[in-house]
């Protein structure tokens, strides 16, 4: 595991964090098309950072947390942009946007209470959910196709439940857990060896 602060993966996460104020400014300025282009760059960097970290053996606790903060702030800006740029869509999807917000906040609060730390589990479910949200968001805005968006938000809720489950069963904070099932198997094997 690398601790290189300036690894390729961390630089992509820093880029994503740096794009957050740009995205806010574009939303507030009413530049919807440009917002979508810059958001696309941000989301592509998100898809690449974890892959490159693993490919070049540059994974780290810091990188996992940096990636999680980039995700959280980018998703928050996506909701903010709906509110500012596409208020009708925001209104139509308000229940699902509330569910999306809670799917982030509740696992965060549970982990903060138990560990005093930000959860960065990066489960397989969370990775799939992250890949699905981008096309769902664009289809919602460009084609007014809300079924896919709603299904992806429901999937995010399942990922959140898994995150809460993981927090409950962890003995100490940990990043990069493939799934709740993998954690249970790991803990069983550890108990058998004790």
Residue 148 exposure: Cα atoms within 13 Å on the Cβ side: 15
With a CB cutoff of 8 Å and minimum separation 6, the contacts of 127 are 50
Confidence at residue 3, expressed as pLDDT on a 0 to 100 scale:
53
Give residue-wise pLDDT tens across range 9-66. Answer: 889 989 999 999 999 999 999 999 999 999 999 999 988 887 787 788 877 788 888 8
Confidence at residue 97, expressed as pLDDT on a 0 to 100 scale:
97
Q: Spell out the domain ranges in the chain.
A: 1-85, 87-194
- Identify the residue whose tokens are 């995010």: 156
Closest CA to 53 of 61, 16, 103: 61
Confidence at residue 17, expressed as pLDDT on a 0 to 100 scale:
95
Low-confidence ranges of the chain (pLDDT < 50): 1-2
Confidence at residue 167, expressed as pLDDT on a 0 to 100 scale:
93
Confidence at residue 57, expressed as pLDDT on a 0 to 100 scale:
82
Q: Is there a contact between 120 and 68 (Cβ–Cβ < 8 Å)?
A: yes
- Quote the crossing angle between the two packed helices 8-29 and 61-85, to the nearest 10°: 10
How far apart, in whole angstroms, are the C-alpha atoms of residue 7 and residue 162? 29
Confidence at residue 1, expressed as pLDDT on a 0 to 100 scale:
42
């Amino acid at each position: 595991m690398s601790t290189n602060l300036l690894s390729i993966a961390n630089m992509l996460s820093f880029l994503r964090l740096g794009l957050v104020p740009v995205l806010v400014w574009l939303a507030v300025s009413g530049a919807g098309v440009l917002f979508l282009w810059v958001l696309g760059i941000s989301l592509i960097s998100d898809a690449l950072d974890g892959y490159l970290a693993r490919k070049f053996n540059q994974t780290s606790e810091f990188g996992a947390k940096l990636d999680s903060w980039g995700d959280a702030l980018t998703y928050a800006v996506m909701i903010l942009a709906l509110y500012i740029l596409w208020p009708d869509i925001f209104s139509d999807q308000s229940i699902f946007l509330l569910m999306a917000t809670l799917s982030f906040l509740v696992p965060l609060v549970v982990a903060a209470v138990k560990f005093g730390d930000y959860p960065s589990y990066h489960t397989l479910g969370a990775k799939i959910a992250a890949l699905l949200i981008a096309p769902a968001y664009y289809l919602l805005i460009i084609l007014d196709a809300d079924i896919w968006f709603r299904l992806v938000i429901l999937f995010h809720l399942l990922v959140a439940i898994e995150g809460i489950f993981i927090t409950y069963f962890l003995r100490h904070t940990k990043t990069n857990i493939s799934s709740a099932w993998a954690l249970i198997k790991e803990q069983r094997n550890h108990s058998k060896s004790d």
